[in-house]
Amino acid sequence: MSPMDNWRKSSHSGPGDGNECVEIATSATHVAVRDSKAPARATLTFPRAAFTRFLTTVEEPEGNPPPR
C-alpha cells in the first residue's frame, strides 16, 4: 500500500474549535484514520469497503441496520 499523503479533517468530526477531530486519508483501496491532535502517532488503516460499511452503519437510525 502506498503512503497516505492526502490527510483532511473528517466530515464526521464534531463542530467547534477542532479539538476533537479525526483526519482521514484515502487511497484506491484503503482509508486511514488518525487523531488530528497527534498526527505522528498511531494510524488506523481499513480496507475501503469495511470503512464504508462502518460509516453506513453509524449513519443509520437506531434499530435499522443496513442490508448486508
User: pLDDT by residue for the chain (68 residues), tens digit each?
Assistant: 456 788 988 666 666 655 678 899 999 999 999 988 888 898 999 999 999 998 888 877 776 666 66
Reduced to 3 states, what is the DSSP secondary structure of residue 7? Answer: coil
Given this model, what pLDDT does residue 12 score? 62
Given this model, what pLDDT does residue 61 score? 73
Given this model, what pLDDT does residue 18 score? 57
Given this model, what pLDDT does residue 19 score? 64
What does each C-alpha distance from 53 to 3, 5, 40, 48 come to in angstroms?
Answer: 23, 23, 27, 9
